[in-house]
Amino acid sequence: MEYRKLGKTDLKLSAITYGAFAIGGSMWGGNEKKDSISAIHASLDNGVTSLDTAPFYGLGLSEELIGEAIKGKDRTNIQLLTKFGLVWDGSNQGKGDFFFDAGTEAKSIPVYRYGSKKNIIKEVEESLKRLGTDYIDLLQIHWPDASTPIAETMDALEELIKQGKILAAGVCNYDLAQLKEAEQSISLASNQIPYSMLNRGIEVGVVPYAIENNIGLIAYSPLERGLLTGKYFKEATLKTEDHRNGYFDQFDPKKVKAFLNSIAPLAEYKNVSLAQLVLRWTTLQPGITIVLAGARNAEQAISNAQAINVDINADELTFIKEHLLNL
């Protein structure tokens, strides 16, 4: 595994980091607790020392599963990355900026973006309890909140750093203007942002700014939630309640399939899976510090960790880039 320094902080994170959205179950068609715990253990056993989660993932379940999985392990060898600012519980419901309804036909669960100082302090205490720890390595606002001044949110993060409850502060889904405004109040460790072969918008603006100002970039959805593994063009199917039934609609399936077919021979030549080739490509892109990869069982977790061993030379990077132009 490769370990990379996150921005201006002293944190060293695994280049392939475990993404814990799917094990929360909700929006993913459920989960299997035993498999989820096994996936976390397999990640740790294969050099993935960094685990990224959020209270919203499974409405607390993802953090609880991570807390259970790491119980009794050497905490100094594990980096916990979590978030705040998506609220759904009764005490905060209706506060902040309405985001979407995460419920079902039978039960409505309205979710709000809410980054007030009071809410951040509350959420951190809840996350610490679920994770079974007394500090969080990297705390990130999950989504920008238009109802709260960015300076207020950053002030709360600064206070938590001074208290020792978090080691570093980051943001997620911030555009260039929001990054610049946040940096007026705090030295940001990172910006967690969607980035993949199919979604490269941050290469203009965000990436150059992050490089120039030494802000780490955490790429999420590098496999576009499984689409770039190629399996959904074969036998794999999605459960009715899986959010990817709608998520995949943003992409042109014919173009994506043609692209994957064009790079498949390279994966075959290297005796690796398409997923491993795609993950490794993502870790090699300018400005990208770490890449999040989800796994719902040990087999997937091991495969993700081993992606770091895929050797892609300059000519092969050019080959992939040429085919990206067709997307």
Model pLDDT, residue 106: 67
Beta bridge partners of 86: 113
What are the sequence ranges of the domains in the chain? 3-229+278-311
What integer pLDDT is reported at residue 244 of this predicted model? Answer: 77
pLDDT for 89: 72
* 3-229+278-311 classified as CATH 3.20.20.100: yes
242-260 pLDDT tens trace: 777 778 778 888 898 899 9
Of the residues 18, 57, 114, 220, only one is catalytic, namely: 57
Each residue's pLDDT, cut to its tens digit, for the chain (327 residues) gives 999 999 999 999 999 999 998 888 676 666 789 999 999 999 999 999 999 999 999 999 999 999 999 999 999 999 999 999 999 876 566 688 888 888 766 678 889 999 999 999 999 999 999 999 999 999 999 999 999 999 999 999 999 999 999 999 999 999 999 999 999 999 999 999 999 999 999 999 999 999 999 999 999 999 988 889 887 777 667 677 777 777 877 888 889 889 999 999 999 999 999 999 999 999 999 999 999 999 989 999 999 999 999 999 999 999 999 998 777
Region of 47 please: left (phi>0), alpha (psi -120 to 50) or beta.
left
What pLDDT sits at residue 316? 97
How much is the pTM? 0.94
pLDDT at 105: 65
Axis-axis angle for helices 61-70, 33-45 (nearest 10): 50
Q: Are 68 and 41 in contact (CB under 8 A)?
A: no
Q: Dump the DSSP string for 170-214.
A: EEES--HHHHHHHTTTS---EEEEE-BTTB-GGGTTHHHHHHHTT
pLDDT score, position 27 = 66
Spell out where the chain has E strands: 3-5, 12-14, 16-19, 50-52, 79-84, 86-87, 97-101, 110-113, 136-141, 166-172, 190-194, 216-220, 288-294
57 catalytically annotated: yes
